[in-house]
């Protein structure tokens, strides 16, 4: 099982490398969105600093939502998903490995780039650290719950927007606690309360997400 997990993750990563720039695109999208905000909102540095965490988190959410439809859709269209379902591998392992690969390819790069964007918005160093931490804890939630959303909207036309509609509300707590952690650092409050709430949310979603995704996949392929 561990072996199956490992080789499916490896395959996903290899596929992503082949589709050159897939990873890069999500990243650049993230950066573009984060850079759009000051354009629309206006350039006062104080105001920008206050909204930095929110903007980074919202951009991360949107980048995740944009990348999610691909999670199962390609495998569904060409029959690979069907093959996975009839294979001896437990479906849970398949879902978990796909969600992990999704995080490695989107969540992790986003988290690692976020401090750079924070710099642009003139965040102090300790807030940058907290931003990174909040993203490292929070982004796996996006992949886990997102995989359930992606499975639910599989084969549904206009799935992209529907998926956004399904998962964005679920992501709201992540956004609130994630951005909250950074903002509280800015005004001198210890962010650990926010971060541990995020951690709890991660624990819950790692139980619920993959299970829901498995069930939804079986329905989609009936």
Partner 1 sequence: MLETTALACERGGMRLFSDLGVALQAGGLLRVRGNNGSGKTTLLRTLAGLTRPAAGSVRWRGEPIGDDFRREMLFLGHAAAVKDEMTVSENLEFSSRISCLDVAESKIRDALECLGIVRLADLPARYLSQGQRKRAALARLALSASVPLWLLDEPFSALDDEAIARVSALCAAHLAAGGMVVLTSHQDIPIAAADARAIEMRG
Partner 2 sequence: MASRLLQFATPQAFFPLAGKLVPWFSVLAGALALAGLYVAFLVAPTDHQQGESYRIIFIHVPAAWMSMFLYVVMAGWAGLGLALNTRLSGMMSSAIAPTGAMFTFVALWSGALWGRPTWGAYWVWDARLTSELVLLFLYLGFIALKSAIPDPVRADRAGAILALVGVVNVPIIYFSVQWWNTLHQGASVSLTRAPSMAAAMLLGMLLMALAAWMYSIATALSRVRSIILERERDAEWVRMQRSAA
Binding site for partner 2 (CB under 8 A): 19-21, 24-25, 28, 32, 35, 38-39, 42-43, 45, 120, 145, 148, 152-153, 156-159, 162, 165-166, 168-170, 172-173, 176, 204, 208, 212, 215-216, 219-220, 222
11 binds, among partner 1, a second copy, partner 2, none (CB under 5 to 8 A by kind): partner 1
CA distance 106 to 1: 24
125 binds, among partner 1, a second copy, partner 2, none (CB under 5 to 8 A by kind): none
Ramachandran region, residue 20 (left: φ > 0; alpha: ψ -120 to 50; beta: rest):
beta
25, 50, 70, 89: which one binds partner 1 (CB under 8 A): 89
Q: How many residues does the chain have?
A: 222
Please state the closest distance from residue 163 (CB atom) to partner 1, in A: 18
Contact track, partner 1, 38-77, x by CB under 8 A: ------------------------------------x--x
Nearer to partner 2 (CB atom), residue 136 or residue 162:
162
CA distance 63 to 53: 15
Closest CA to 147 of 81, 90, 96: 96
CA distance 48 to 18: 38
83 binds, among partner 1, partner 2, a second copy, none (CB under 5 to 8 A by kind): partner 1
Residue 199 CB neighbours (<10 A): 15
Residues 6+ apart with CB under 8 A from 113: 27, 30, 31
């Amino acid at each position: 099982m561990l072996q199956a997990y490992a080789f499916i993750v490896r395959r996903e990563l290899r596929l992503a490398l082949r589709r050159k720039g897939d990873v890069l695109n999500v990243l650049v999208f993230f950066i573009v969105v984060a850079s759009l905000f000051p354009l629309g909102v206006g350039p006062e540095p104080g105001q920008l600093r206050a909204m930095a965490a929110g903007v980074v988190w919202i951009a991360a959410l949107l980048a995740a939502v944009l990348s999610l439809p691909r999670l199962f859709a390609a495998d569904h269209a060409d029959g690979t998903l069907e093959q996975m379902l009839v294979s001896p591998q437990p479906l849970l392992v398949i879902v978990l490995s796909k969600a992990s690969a999704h995080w490695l390819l989107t969540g992790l790069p986003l988290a690692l780039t976020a401090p750079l964007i924070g710099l642009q918005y003139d965040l102090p160093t300790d807030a940058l650290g907290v931003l990174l931490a909040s993203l490292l804890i929070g982004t796996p939630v996006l992949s886990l719950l997102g995989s359930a959303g992606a499975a639910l909207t599989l084969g549904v036309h206009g799935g992209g927007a529907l998926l956004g509609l399904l998962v964005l509300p679920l992501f709201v707590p992540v956004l609130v606690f994630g951005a909250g952690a950074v903002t509280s650092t800015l005004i001198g409050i210890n962010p650990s309360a926010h971060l541990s709430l995020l951690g709890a949310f991660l624990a819950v979603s790692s139980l619920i997400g993959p299970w829901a995704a498995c069930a939804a996949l079986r329905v989609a392929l009936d």
